[in-house]
Amino acid sequence: MERITQKRLIRKGWSGDRKYRVRCAGELCLLRVSSADRREHAEKVFRATKRFFDLGIPMCEPLEMGVCEEGIYALYSWIDGTDAEKALRRMSPEEQYAYGLEGGRILRRMHTLRAPKSTPSWEERFGQKIDRKLRAYRECPVRVEGEEHFLRCIEAHRELLAGREQVLQHGDYHAGNLLIGKDGRLCVIDFDRFDVGDPWEEFNRIVWDAEKLPDFASGMIDGYFEGAIPADFWPLLALYLSVNALGSIPWAIPYGAREIGVMRRLAAQVLSWYGGMTRTIPAWYRPRVGIALGILDGREGMPSAKTVKNAKNTKKAESFDP
């Protein structure tokens, strides 16, 4: 820490950590400082980011971790780039979709880190999570219009949780946690909410992209599945979005009326996309088969479907023990 000569606070994000743009030994770096009571979590995040970086995920390189006066610090390399969410809004639908393909392929590569064999089943873990979230929703004073449609969807698709594989998740994967670097490539940031679970649950944040960047969101799904979407994906996605739609209400209450309004609006949007949860595929999904098969793979800095497939074939899925 004594090597730091410049320090500027970064005012973005929901975590309680403090983030700084610093100059350390002459190099620009990202400094993340956690309180001492978050030490165990901070150490798990740092180990996870090292494993992701070793997979070749485009991201800040984890450099070192240690103890400081403010708690626990983690130092990462700095990436100069533009907030992807803002940049994508200025792009054509075709460009948004191409970046979505890239984002989906990156996520697929991240999901090659398997959960430890000792991890309880996803059916058990997420089943308990459903029960907790629904109990919290029923006990809170705020209601979502059309809640019965979400509840019906959850009950209808809950059995699909059985037998799901579990992997290391980013935990908050959407355009708001991506950068577009100076080379035009996507970079992943903010792993603070990493977890272990069903890889398809990672798409539960896609509502943030689908609302304003539907072409990017569509590309994410096509890139992840390389154009071959399994039949179970859509009902499972509807289940995860339904749980989030109701569970987000009690979460928002401590943050006030504004956040409650945001979550109620998103819940209404999900109901609209799914026609009261009667549709299998949401209305925002816009596949572009030709692009999904690799027509845009020649774009500089974008890994092709063939490249990703070869990487998966030459590197066995690894287990991650947090």
Structure-derived torsion over alpha carbons of residues 171, 177, 180, 181, reported in degrees to the nearest 10: -80
Range in 11-25, 93-107, 182-196, 220-234 with the lowest mean pLDDT: 11-25
d(CA 246, CA 137): 6
Mean pLDDT of the chain: 89
**CB 194 within 8 Å of CB 168:** yes
Q: What is the pLDDT of residue 179?
A: 97
Structural domain containing residue 45? 4-78
**Using one digit for the tens of pLDDT, what is the confidence trace for 61-88?**
999 999 998 899 999 999 999 999 999 9
Residues 29 and 54 in one domain: yes
Residues 31 and 111 in one domain: no
Helix residue ranges per DSSP H, 161-232:
206-212, 214-225
**CB 195 within 8 Å of CB 122:** no
Residues 59 and 100 in one domain: no
Number of domain units in the chain? 2
Residues 123 and 95 in one domain: yes
Helix, strand or coil for residue 242?
helix
> Long-range contacts made by residues 269-278, C-beta under 8 angstroms, separation at least 24?
269/207, 269/211, 270/207, 270/241, 270/242, 270/245, 271/146, 271/149, 271/150, 271/245, 273/210, 274/153, 274/238, 274/241, 276/146, 276/149, 277/149, 277/150, 277/152, 277/153, 277/238, 277/242, 278/149
Residues 157 and 301 in one domain: yes
Helix, strand or coil for residue 187?
strand
Q: What is the pLDDT of residue 321?
A: 58
d(CA 94, CA 112): 28
**Using one digit for the tens of pLDDT, what is the confidence trace for 186-202?**
999 999 999 999 999 99
Using the predicted structure, report yes or no on whether residue 226 has a pLDDT greater than 50.
yes
Q: What is the pLDDT of residue 289?
A: 58
d(CA 313, CA 277): 37
Using the predicted structure, report yes or no on whether residue 318 has a pLDDT greater than 70.
no
Residues 9 and 101 in one domain: no
d(CA 67, CA 73): 6
- The distance between the two most distant Cα atoms of the chain, rounded to a whole number of Å, is 59
Using the predicted structure, report yes or no on whether residue 319 has a pLDDT greater than 60.
no
Residues 61 and 101 in one domain: no
**CB 40 within 8 Å of CB 79:** no
Whole-prediction pTM value? 0.87
**CB 107 within 8 Å of CB 220:** yes
Residues 238 and 133 in one domain: yes
Residues 100 and 12 in one domain: no
The torsion angles phi and psi of 144, rounded to 5 degrees, stand at: -105, 130
Q: Which of 78, 102, 124 is the C-terminal boundary of a domain?
A: 78
Q: Which of 78, 100, 132 is the C-terminal boundary of a domain?
A: 78
Residues 178 and 297 in one domain: yes
Q: What is the pLDDT of residue 286?
A: 87
Range in 19-33, 37-51, 211-225, 295-309 with the lowest mean pLDDT: 295-309
Q: What is the pLDDT of residue 320?
A: 56
- Structure tokens that stand for 244 in this block: 């989030």
Residues 195 and 67 in one domain: no
Pick the closest to residue 294 from 89, 93, 105 (CA basis).
105
Helix, strand or coil for residue 210?
helix
CATH of the domain at 20: 3.30.200.20
Pick the closest to residue 133 from 15, 19, 2, 267 (CA basis).
267
**Using one digit for the tens of pLDDT, what is the confidence trace for 235-279?**
999 999 999 999 999 999 999 999 999 999 999 999 999 999 999
Using the predicted structure, report yes or no on whether residue 102 has a pLDDT greater than 60.
yes
pLDDT band at 2 (very low <50, low <70, confident <90, very high): low
Using the predicted structure, report yes or no on whether residue 224 has a pLDDT greater than 90.
yes
**Using one digit for the tens of pLDDT, what is the confidence trace for 27-43?**
999 999 999 999 999 99
d(CA 171, CA 322): 14
CATH of the domain at 116: 3.90.1200.10
Within 8 A by CB and 6+ apart from 115, the residues are 165, 166, 167, 168, 196, 197, 319, 320
Q: Which of 56, 78, 100 is the C-terminal boundary of a domain?
A: 78
Residues 176 and 287 in one domain: yes
